[in-house]
Amino acid sequence: MSAVPRPAPSCTPDVPPFDLARIRSDFPILGIEVNGKPLAYLDNAASAQMPTPVIDRIVSYQRREHANIHRAVHYLSETATAAYEGARAKVQGFLNAKEEREIIYTSGTTEAINLVMYGYGRKFLGDGDEIIVSQLEHHSNIVPWQMLCGEKGCRLRVIPCDDRGVLDLDAYEKLFNERTRFVAITHVSNALGTVNPVRAMIAAAHARGVPVLVDGAQAAPHIAVDVQELDCDFYCFSAHKLCGPTGMGALYGKAAMLEKMAPFKGGGDMILSVTFEKTTYAPLPAKFEAGTPHIAGAVALGATLDYLARVGMHDIAAWEHSLLEYATRQFETLEGVRIIGTAPEKAAVLSFEVKGVHPHDVGTILNEEGVAVRTGHHCAQPVMQRFRVPATVRASFAFYNTMAEVDQLVAGIRRVQQMFA
Amino acid sequence: MDSKQLYQEVILDHNRKPRNWGRLERASHHAEGLNPLCGDHIWVSLELDGDRVSNVAFEGQSCAICKASASMMTANIKGKSVGEVEQLIREFRDMATGKLDVARQSNHLGRLSVFAGVKDLPSRVKCAILPWHTLHAAFAQQESASTEGDQDPFAASTARGRSA
Ligand SMILES: Cc1ncc(COP(=O)(O)O)c(C=O)c1O
């Protein structure tokens, strides 16, 4: 497995590299109608839909395998523990982490970033230290670091991007100085789709001894990730963007980093021994998993990764790229539509504005046509400020989308333009 | 509902050609309204002549629903007393949130009832209400209104007295 982002395979197949009809039949929700029209679900960057094998796995877990984990000797507790820990091995495989204990379950990307901020940032950063983030971050990779700045007197430095939404790597290099202590960057921009060259960016930080967290929320669903090849110190993702459950995600951290960090939450399961004088923390990964976790979520995440592996991450990337290219070409035939985010390396995200029409009106009318898109600032207000728009409309594709759904989107936009003409 | 029902010609027309656009130089009351969720941002200014709205204007950046609502609001309230307008504000809010059925219950909304359809689009209700909410803030000498937090129009009480 290789980690160089593979969003732009040289071949962009016109026909899906898999049996698309069969894949779609795995997703019962794709069959619903909205306002009497077939649903075209193009809001996958916000949350992707769940296939039947994953739904079934949640049900079978609850029906036959559930108990609390790590705590009892009875049959069900052991079954549940095996399912929970078995899923961890799948996450390890998915990210190609060296060790299973480097995978910490979290409620999602947001919690993973906060865990690193609390466990690493609060322990190792202090007054005057600098943290580098990019202009393209989701709020969840800005606000925790700002909180740290407020508490410790650190300073946030921002890597700018150009008019295409491509990060300025020269500017990035220049941001480093003797006070730089941490880099937190997104692998793929949720608002624009830009795929950042994180591998080179990590190498640049490491050359200066600075650790790097990569927000993989938008990359993990579309790119075969290899954390060893990237050499990132931390990587995080959310299960729900991968067709898995909400409230579930994972943090990968290099064992040496996780070991020197402070725990995030105190409670049961994260200790070796407790007396009122002293508590000794459990080894990884339990040190970071206080309390009864989302066991069913972890089990479902495991089933999700199995499902994606069966479809194939490379085929997923290839088909999504075809959808993006087709949609981009169609959009270029639409007058008065501006695509925001035109980086050469993009995941299947199309942010745009329709001239003279507010994104919320576009979204409401597209909904009428059965097309689900996201409108707003996409929790990335600095991106909106950079491109001087209050909001955008965003269509984001998953491997189960079809060219016909792109046509449905384009027809919907034409209808918007007619109404507002 | 069909968005055609909401995006009726009247609404599209007011969006294209908003009435009473701008700011009044000698406003006796004014307020700024913000919907941080979607970025709608408007300013309402008005002149009171005794108890009557003698002039009113608005401007801002917003979606069509918000802009048309503001435009029709300004056209509607000129010459009305503060009490009459406050009544309209209540009725408009109740219509948009589905508490007032304009077809069955008596009301003073008239043509403003083209906005009744927003009650089926929860994500757009606040767009329609924002101008009215801002107008209410202007009457109350509050300088700003927001659709979120303690100024949420869905919260029980939103009036926070502050002199201009
Ligand atoms: C790039 C990016 N980072 C972080 C997040 C936050 O993910 P979650 O809400 O699942 O914690 C998202 C989700 O929208 C995202 O797109």
Number of structural domains (chain B) is: 1
Using alpha carbons, select from A400, A378, A314 the residue that is nearest to residue A19. Answer: A400
Taking the centre of ligand 1 as the mean of its atom positions, its distance from the CA of residue A263, in whole angstroms, is 22
Ligand 1 atom nearest A137 alpha carbon: 1
A11, A161, A243, A379: the catalytic one is A379
Taking the centre of ligand 1 as the mean of its atom positions, its distance from the CA of residue A187, in whole angstroms, is 12
pLDDT(A160) > 60: yes
B64: which chain A residues are within 8 Å (Cβ-Cβ)? 357-358, 361, 420
Q: Tell me the mean pLDDT in the region A18-25.
A: 97
- For residues A175 and A226, give the distance between their C-alpha atoms in angstroms, rounded to a whole number: 27
pLDDT at residue A171, rounded to an integer: 98
Least CB–CB distance from B2: residue in A368, A391, A420: A368
Question: Is A218 a pocket residue for ligand 1 (Cβ < 6 Å)?
Answer: yes
- For residues A103 and A235, give the distance between their C-alpha atoms in angstroms, rounded to a whole number: 10
Q: What is the mean pLDDT of chain A?
A: 95
pLDDT(A49) > 90: yes
> Which of the two residues, A377 and A25, has the higher pLDDT score?
A25
Residue partners of B46: CB distance under 8 A and separation at least 6: B24, B27, B28, B29, B30, B53, B55, B56, B57, B135, B138
- A174 and chain B: CB distance < 8 Å anywhere? no
pLDDT(A195) > 80: yes
pLDDT at residue B39, rounded to an integer: 78
Q: Tell me the mean pLDDT in the region A185-209.
A: 98
- For residues A5 and B69, give the distance between their C-alpha atoms in angstroms, rounded to a whole number: 47
- For residues A141 and A132, give the distance between their C-alpha atoms in angstroms, rounded to a whole number: 11
Closest CA in chain A for residue B122: A364
Q: Is residue B155 part of a domain?
A: no
Question: Is A142 a pocket residue for ligand 1 (Cβ < 6 Å)?
Answer: no
Which position has the token pair 């064992």?
Answer: A255
Using alpha carbons, select from A294, A296, A295, A266 the residue that is nearest to residue A282. Answer: A266
The boundaries of every CATH 3.90.1150.10 domain in chain A are 20-50+312-419
- For residues A412 and A192, give the distance between their C-alpha atoms in angstroms, rounded to a whole number: 21
Question: Is A375 a pocket residue for ligand 1 (Cβ < 6 Å)?
Answer: no
Q: Complex ipTM above 0.90?
A: no
- A37 and chain B: CB distance < 8 Å anywhere? no
- For residues B132 and B125, give the distance between their C-alpha atoms in angstroms, rounded to a whole number: 12
Q: ∠ CA(A212), CA(A213), CA(A215), 5° rounding?
A: 145
Q: Is residue B164 part of a domain?
A: no
A236 annotated active-site:
no
Q: Is residue B87 part of a domain?
A: yes
| CATH number reported for the structural domain that contains residue B114 in this entry | 3.90.1010.10
The boundaries of every CATH 3.40.640.10 domain in chain A are 55-309
Q: Is residue B157 part of a domain?
A: no
pLDDT(A1) > 60: no
Q: Around Cβ B94, how many Cβ atoms within 10 Å? A: 17
Say if the Cβ atoms of A365 and B7 lie within 8 Å. Answer: yes
Question: Is A138 a pocket residue for ligand 1 (Cβ < 6 Å)?
Answer: yes
Residues linked to residue B34 through DSSP beta bridges, in sequence order: B41, B146
pLDDT at residue B3, rounded to an integer: 53
Provide the domain limits for residue B116: 3-150
Q: Around Cβ A409, how many Cβ atoms within 10 Å? A: 26
pLDDT at residue A6, rounded to an integer: 44
Q: Is residue B161 part of a domain?
A: no
Mutate to test the interface with A, among B2, B3, B61 (most CBs of A within 10 A): B3
Q: pLDDT tens digits, residue range A63-96?
A: 999 999 987 889 999 999 999 999 999 999 999 9
Least CB–CB distance from A368: residue in B3, B39, B62: B3
Ordered per-residue pLDDT tens for chain B, 164 residues: 455 578 988 999 999 999 999 999 999 999 999 987 777 899 999 999 999 999 999 999 999 999 999 999 999 999 999 999 999 999 999 999 999 999 999 999 999 999 999 998 888 999 999 999 999 999 998 777 777 765 665 543 333 322 22
Region label for A191, one of left (φ > 0), alpha (ψ between -120 and 50) or beta (otherwise) = alpha
- B7 and chain A: CB distance < 8 Å anywhere? yes
pLDDT at residue B38, rounded to an integer: 74
Q: Give the rounded percent of residues in chain A with a pLDDT score beyond 70.
A: 97
Smallest CA–CA distance, residue A380 to chain B, in Å, is: 12
Q: Which CATH architecture has domain A55-309?
A: 3-Layer(aba) Sandwich (3.40)
Q: pLDDT tens digits, residue range A203-260?
A: 999 999 999 999 999 999 999 999 999 999 999 999 999 999 999 999 999 999 999 9
Is the domain A20-50+312-419 a CATH 2.40.37.10 member? no
Cis peptide before A285 (omega within 30 of 0): yes
3-class DSSP state for residue B72? helix
pLDDT at residue A269, rounded to an integer: 81
Q: In what order do the strands lie in the sheet with A349-354?
A: A337-340, A349-354, A392-396, A374-376
Amino acid at the residue B135: L
Q: Is residue B59 part of a domain?
A: yes
Q: Is residue B162 part of a domain?
A: no
